[in-house]
Amino acid sequence: MNKQQAIKDMIEYIDKHYMKHKYTPSLRDIEAELGFSRQTALRYLQELDDQGVLKYDGKTIITQRIAQLTTDDTVRVPVVGSIPCGVPTSEEQTRGKYLSIPKSWVRSGKHYILKASGDSMIDAGIDDGDLVLVKMTKKAELGQIVAALDENNQSTLKRLVFDAKKERPVLHAENKRYKDICPQQIVIQGVAVKVIKDLL
């Protein structure tokens, strides 16, 4: 297969993937579908971005067809960093990065995106490397998955539950290998509303 045909097939696959899943494929997806390496796919995307044929920011691919479909139906949400799904640690801040997502996912309020790190929330469908859409709020209901700070200003992603023995809310891991986190004070930063997979 020559380069021109490979690029044509790649663009067609990207468009079809978006039509089916509502997000663009990863380099891994392109490799699996079309048979050429991720490095080759990356080089093609970067060349096409330089030529203005499509837009590629290292995550999302916007072909001409996708641009037509998403002009009025998407909103750019900031990717503010990563958050551990484990013992609370300092949050990594990422400035200036945005992701376009459907407006229907963010019907009201302010939202941001965090990259999950670790495996303590896998039973809730949140795996290491997933992107988590978070609605900004200082309040949460029991049972919701929250981005939270403890009294030492350390952040984590956990389910908010009530511990009857301790008689107070705790941060519950969705993996039996991990114990609940029981800080004296829980500061809610937001509530997780959606998990976005296979974008990185």
77, burial (CB in 10 Å: exposed 0-12, middle 13-18, buried 19+): buried
Task: Name the pairing type of β-strands 74-84 and 155-163.
Answer: unpaired
Is residue 112 within 8 Å of 136, Cβ to Cβ?
yes
149: β partners: 155, 187
User: What gap in Å lies between CA 7 and CA 47, rounded to an integer?
Assistant: 10
Q: Give the catalytic positions in this structure.
A: 120, 158
In the structure encoding, which two tokens stand for residue 30, read together?
């392109």
